[in-house]
């Protein structure tokens, strides 16, 4: 497989304010990581357990992780990254809640923590989140608060606006989407429900017929913070962050490390396919999403207290389960890992 940059793709913004694409890892490191992703050796440190998670996606659960003892282990960090590129989803089963410093240290094992800043049409920076994000998907929006918010909408459930119950990928509406999401459970529903589910977009691409894969070569999809409800019944986000630029990403993305192709788009944010009439492009994206949700391998993560869940945004989509009682808590801390501009695969 070869990779290419899409003509005219937006450039990423560094923390120092300059614009330009972050460099990919050196070629020799990529080769090492590619080989490691096909290696099933046990962890390089004693005391860790590895178990297959239920479902056919191939996620794994790692027990015995000590954030104070293990976070600084470079060999273990390499092993975790290789496992993540291979499996798409990892769970670190923690004995107790993490401090913020511990959560940051675990995230940094995968890569630099992302500072969520994009740009507007004039090139001015737009902060669209903090580094540490509190994801409160159990929060219930009252009528009074909804009236105060006016036209501002997060794009989630109408009653519980932090709850996103449709499959999506994080951060697709910015030039350099986060490579990995690292979610730490803080408060969970006392009753059943509230799983986070995943589908494998690598397998979804591979399962397409050859002529269907050929049809996708060279296609890019524009994403925006507010896609104006392009894919009903999915709600759109709205508010001041709409001033962020629109971005185009390849519909079939090459993994930035191991080069594996995957379908890549988010119907919560996608606007159109750039090379097709709007209606035709949206119909194609919807059909690809329907195919992935119907045919791709899945994993539903049943949360346990203190879990840390990591997923590869270049490989999987995810969604929250809203099947827990309204008023019950479902609260997480989230950090994201910096990513590079998606590159097309063909």
66 is a domain residue: yes
Mean per-residue pLDDT over the chain, rounded: 88
What is the per-residue DSSP string for 44-95? Answer: SSTT-EEEEPSSSS--EEEE---HHHHTT-HHHHHHHHHHHHHHSEEEEE-S
pLDDT digits (tens, 9 = 90+) for 297-321: 999 999 999 999 999 999 999 999 9
Instruction: Give residue 2's pLDDT.
Output: 36
| Structural domains of the chain, count | 1
DSSP designation for 335: E
- For position 186, which CATH number holds? 3.60.130.10
pLDDT digits (tens, 9 = 90+) for 315-332: 999 999 999 999 999 999
DSSP designation for 328: -
DSSP designation for 26: P
| Domain span holding position 234 | 19-341
Nearest to 229 by CA among 267, 276, 266, 265: 267
51 is a domain residue: yes
319 is a domain residue: yes
Report how far residue 282's alpha carbon sits from residue 270's, in angstroms, rounded to the nearest whole number.
9
Q: Which residues on adjacent β-strands are paired with residue 13?
A: 19
Instruction: Give residue 5's pLDDT.
Output: 36
Backbone angles phi, psi at 30, to 5 degrees: -60, -45
120 is a domain residue: yes
Assign 149 a pLDDT band (cuts: 50, 70, 90). low
Report how far residue 147's alpha carbon sits from residue 259's, in angstroms, rounded to the nearest whole number.
47
3 is a domain residue: no
pLDDT digits (tens, 9 = 90+) for 99-122: 999 999 999 999 999 999 999 999
346 is a domain residue: no
pLDDT digits (tens, 9 = 90+) for 23-58: 334 433 444 444 444 555 789 888 999 999 999 999
Residue carrying the six token digits 């036209």: 151
Instruction: Give residue 41's pLDDT.
Output: 72
Residue, of 145 and 126, whose pLDDT is higher: 126
pLDDT digits (tens, 9 = 90+) for 214-245: 999 999 999 999 999 999 999 999 999 999 99
183 is a domain residue: yes
pLDDT digits (tens, 9 = 90+) for 160-181: 777 789 999 999 999 999 999 9
112 is a domain residue: yes
pTM above 0.85, yes or no: yes
């Amino acid at each position: 497989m070869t990779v290419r940059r899409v003509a005219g793709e937006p450039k990423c913004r560094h923390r120092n304010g300059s614009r330009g694409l972050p460099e990919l890892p050196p070629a020799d490191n990529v080769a090492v990581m590619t080989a490691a992703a096909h290696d099933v050796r046990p962890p390089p440190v004693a005391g860790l357990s590895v178990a297959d998670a239920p479902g056919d996606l191939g996620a794994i659960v790692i027990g015995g992780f000590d954030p104070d003892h293990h976070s600084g282990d470079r060999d273990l960090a390499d092993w975790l990254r290789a496992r993540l590129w291979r499996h798409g989803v990892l769970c670190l089963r923690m004995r107790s809640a993490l401090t913020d410093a511990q959560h940051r240290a675990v995230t940094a094992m995968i890569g630099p923590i992302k500072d969520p800043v994009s740009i507007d049409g004039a090139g001015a920076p737009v902060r669209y989140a903090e580094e540490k994000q509190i994801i409160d998907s159990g929060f219930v929006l009252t009528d009074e608060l909804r009236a105060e918010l006016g036209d501002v909408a997060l794009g989630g459930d109408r009653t519980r606006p932090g709850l996103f119950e449709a499959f999506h990928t994080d951060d697709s509406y910015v030039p350099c989407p986060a490579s990995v999401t690292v979610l730490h459970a803080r408060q969970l529903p006392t009753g059943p429900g509230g799983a986070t589910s995943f589908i494998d977009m690598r397998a979804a691409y591979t399962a397409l017929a050859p002529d269907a894969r050929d049809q996708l070569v060279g296609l890019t999809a524009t994403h925006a913070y507010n896609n104006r409800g392009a894919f009903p019944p999915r709600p759109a986000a709205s508010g001041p962050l709409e001033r962020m630029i629109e971005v185009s990403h390849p519909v079939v993305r090459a993994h930035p490390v191991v080069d594996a192709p995957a379908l890549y788009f988010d119907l919560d944010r996608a606007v159109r396919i750039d090379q097709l009439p709007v209606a035709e492009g949206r119909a194609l994206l919807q059909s690809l999403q329907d195919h992935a949700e119907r045919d791709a391998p899945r994993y539903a993560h049943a949360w346990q207290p203190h879990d840390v869940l990591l997923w590869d945004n270049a490989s999987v989509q995810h969604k929250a389960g809203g099947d827990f009682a309204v008023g019950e808590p479902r609260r997480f801390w989230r950090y994201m890992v910096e990513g590079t501009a998606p590159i097309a695969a063909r």
